[in-house]
Structure 1
Amino acid sequence: MSEINFAAAKTAVLVIDMQNDNVLAEGAFADFGAAEHATQQDVINNVNRVLEAARKAGAPIFHNRIISYPQRPVGGSNAPIFNLIGPESLKDGSWGAEILKDIEVRDDEIVLDRMRMSAFHGTSLDAMLRNLGIENVIVVGVWTNMAVEHTVRDAADYGYNAAIVSDATSSINAEWHQAALSYALTNIATITDVASVEAGLK
């Protein structure tokens, strides 16, 4: 894994879709393998380790949720992934859409909701990061080859130095997870791990 050396004052942590439906055995996507792979990755504990390192260093944290609105099919059906979301899974106001109780959201941490894969799409995330003088983003959460990957790609396109934390991310299986880390993102972001974040976030 690559080491990072990010100044906390110019670094933010982006927490992607750590929601009940996406991670837990009782969630809507457990049958897809999401809960099993999250357990294999120890993703809840590892995300919390990254959050603790960020809090100690004073780096801002942004939590993201992907949600569906059951009133009308506003999420669209132009791509297969959008057909998987809703009308009941990740429904706004439901248990499934809530952030995991084991992932604390503190008073100085912002939660952004969206309907698309990237945390930048349809939110004010870019403006918020720029207003804070952020140059680097550390991305954790689920799923590695979907929302996490989209967020990392957009971060690079927006001009940020992006790092993805390999053991603080998970997907629906190890193969898809590893495909994103070993192929799709190798020329986009720094692939790092929790221990390197803890050591390198100054």
Structure 2
Amino acid sequence: MLSLTQDPLNEVIFNGKSYHLDLAFDTVLQYLQLSSDDDLSKEEKVEYAITLFLDEQDLPNDPEFYELIFKAVNEEITADPYGNNMPNSNPFGLAPIKYFDYVQDAEAIFASFMREYKINLLKQRGKMHWREFKALFDGLSENSYMQRIISIRQRDLSEVDDSKMRQQLTEAKSYYALDEPQKEEDKQEHVAQTSALSAMFKAMQGQVKKGG
């Protein structure tokens, strides 16, 4: 998670040598897309993830190195300062899948950062660290475009008594609906992307242990 006294993670030390980690927000977003791509095999995802985070560095041929990398990146991406002591809590780290999608909501996120922070995210690619992006994203006000969309998706129609307002909310939910509707059991359990991400890294760790 973001610290005000230490730099965010940008390198790992293995056998006395430093290796740069690219954890710019756009790199992490590319990884999130990669991890949910069902057309790629586990081995391909491992290879692409290594390329994303480590680029073209001279890397050691040691499974322990990649275990260290995946563990460090996983912790950096999914760490959240709140809710860790609540049983069955749904951390805000990457928000429930049903509430937003970094790809589909890219324009709303861009507009929200421009309006609230005067930050052009297109110009921050390769620069802004994931933890900075996440802190700013989580801090968007309820009046921001992105948070208004999330509020529409979260709001329960049964709580709206007025028929006209219910119809308006229904239309808004339809308009802002995510492309891939979640299964009902997923909605009830509030499955978070953090869980999927952690599972993905564990799978990667298992793969490198096998030398795959």
TM-score by length of 2: 0.24
In our comparison, the structure showing a higher alpha carbon Rg is 2
TM-score by length of 1: 0.25
Comparing both structures, which one devotes a greater share of its residues to strand?
A: 1
